[in-house]
Amino acid sequence: MDTSRRLFCFALASGLLLSRVVVSRAASARGSDILLEVSKALDEEVQSGVLGRIAIEAGENAVDDLAKCLRTTSDEEEQGRIVIALSYIGGSKSADALFAFFQSTGRAKGRVCFVFASAPNSDRIHFLIDSLKGPHYGDDWYPIVQSAWSLGIIKDRSALSELKKCADLNQGVASVAAADAIKWITLPPPHIQIDTASGDDPLLLAILRSGISGLDGFDRLHEQNSDRLWIKTKMGYLIRQRELTESVDQKLNINVYRSEDNMRALVRLDLHLGNLNGAGYEYVLHKQADKWIVRGLSQTWMS
């Protein structure tokens, strides 16, 4: 195991919260420097969501080590951090490791359903479709939501029958997620006209064309990061600069983290559509042939 991967694995498994500068330094750490880097990490400002950013930075090079840790540790908190890290990294090896963990423990089904969107095959799609069944309450609704969104991202039409059954129950978030997936699979991607560009637009375009839950609830949305307006049109959305005289109550906040090699990204979207009406989402994206592709979607909060 090379030193940088040891540091990534140690940081993930031990729950250290590293900022981007520490992650960048880790890539060149050697020998006893690893201890120095970890010591410096302890003094870094704690940042929310940084576990996902570490995983995005580490990429698939860290999967073998993390999977081994997951198989050998008995500490449930450590297992939980590794499960989250593997789900953010994604890919076939991560999917296999998380599925094996689920089979042996019965835990982390939601994260299995999340990671399967990053490496779909017939067996995984069958598992996602089967996971749409079950009660929409207690501990059972979350895997249903993740299964529905993963099937919507994959755009697998063989899931439409079970998705419709799930949506027709009209029971909470799970039915809403199933209805989202049906729209993402059956409707053409929205036409996006961008009159005022930003550096994150390639990521936002991939997300918009994949699907965002709750976007049907607005006609105009203020993207606060770039001070732009998203305006619903007949075919999709117009994105342009906000005029100083334009005030819009419905707001969108975007936080983007890209890996140093610019091949992976984690995007957080926070939608505020009204009083006690909002939600947050995290999207994992991978770049393939210079094109960003959504490889995972999860909800971070709702009100």
Q: What is the mean pLDDT of residues 116-144?
A: 95
CATH of domain 120-186: 1.25.10
pTM of the entire predicted model: 0.86
How large is the greatest C-alpha to C-alpha distance in the chain, in angstroms? 60
- Backbone φ and ψ of 16, nearest 5°: -65, 140
Q: What is the mean pLDDT of residues 61-90?
A: 87
Q: How far is CA 252 from CA 240, 247, 248, in A?
A: 14, 13, 11
Q: What is the mean pLDDT of residues 230-256?
A: 93
**pLDDT tops 80 at residue 47:** no
pLDDT of residue 8: 56
Residue with tokens 């983007």: 256
pLDDT digits (tens, 9 = 90+) for 260-282: 889 999 999 999 877 778 889 99
- Domain range annotation of the chain: 3-102, 120-186, 191-302
**pLDDT tops 60 at residue 29:** no
**pLDDT tops 50 at residue 44:** no
DSSP letter (8 states) at residue 231: E
Query: Which residues, including other chains, have CB under 8 Å from residue 16's CB and lie 6 or more apart?
Result: 10, 38, 41, 42
47-51 long-range Cβ contacts below 8 angstroms, 24+ apart: 47/17, 47/19, 49/255, 49/266, 49/268, 49/282, 50/17, 50/18, 50/19, 51/12, 51/15, 51/17, 51/81, 51/84, 51/85, 51/88
